[in-house]
Amino acid sequence: MSLRAWMLWIFCRSVAILPHWMQYGCIGRVIYFVLRYVVRYRRKLIVRQLTESFPERSKNEIAELCGEYYRRLSETFVGTMTLAGMSKQKRLEVLDVTVPEHIMEAVKGRHFVYLSSHHNFWEFAQFAGLRFPNHLTLCAYHPLTDKAWDALYYHLRYSEESLPVPSAQLIRYFLQHRKDGVDGRQMLLGLIADQNAPPQGDVHWYDFLNHKTLFFEGGEQMAVKFNLPVLYLSMSRISAGKYTGEVIMLYDGVESVEKHVITERYVRQLERDIVREPAAWMWSHRRWKYYPDPVTGEPIYKRE
């Protein structure tokens, strides 16, 4: 890593070794205050997307959700810093995951696709892979243009059980190791599947949160082509920096399904999770940049 990347790492490490009450009770509250009351971070965008997604909610309810979202967002900043030097035991504690026995049997000795989202703290989602000790978690990510920040995030995400792989290289890596696995382990292909999809490539329109929404279908296509089970992680917040998760089977790798069915199952499950815990999703990212042409269905860029 570069000197600047090491300085960022040292800063994160300094936060990571602090007591929990200082991390979230002090630093987290400062970040929350700055985001909500000083810079009012993307407030118009957050309020607009919440209002469009939940038209049945009053202005006061939307304002409350917006305030709670800032609180959740501040926790993600702190949580990211705590990744620096986090032990395996600590990773098991911050995300308590339940994996049904039938799912463990279904993926035994098999590669599989693991779909998560930006609902609750997505960086902790990779820790669900620890429940599958015979698998290596491949965390697909989009490299950052800033080399120092990119190196920092790679270092934060890397462990003996988890390997960050650029999204553009994931299929190639999978094909190279498909036969024998990686160091005797099968591969868990971790995808954050609610990324802001551009209108090209493996995307399709879905009804989602009162919008026509583009979703990537790369996970579904890999699953169908290579007969891979598809699992989904449903996360809930217990307290600041601590979450619980439930692993759900979306596709067993054997069932005969029509095109778009697996992704539809993912979209419906994600939507249920967001409705259940709305402030936990990433509302400060402009999710709906495009809408379909009412005649042709072609994506049209939605100007602000």
- DSSP assignment of 20-55 equals HHHIIIIIHHHHHHIIIIIS-TTHHHHHHHHHHH-T
Terminal Cα-to-Cα distance of the chain (whole angstroms): 38
Beta strands in the chain (DSSP E): 95-98, 112-116, 135-141, 162-166, 186-192, 203-208, 211-216, 230-239, 242-251, 290-292, 299-301
For 127-149, the three-class secondary structure string (H helix, E strand, C coil) is HHHHHCCCEEEEEEECCCCCHHH
Task: Choose which CATH entry (3.40.1130, 1.25.40, 2.60.40, 1.20.950) describes domain 88-301.
Answer: 3.40.1130
Residue with tokens 């400062």: 30
Domain ranges of the chain: 88-301
Reading the block at residue 277, the tokens are: 């815990």
Number of residues assigned to the chain: 304
Distance of CA 177 to the CA centre of its chain: 24
Residue with tokens 């979450």: 243
Which pLDDT score is estimated for 303? 63
- 10-residue averages of pLDDT along the chain (304 residues): 91 96 97 97 97 97 98 97 94 94 95 96 94 96 94 94 95 94 95 87 91 94 96 97 96 95 98 97 94 83 70
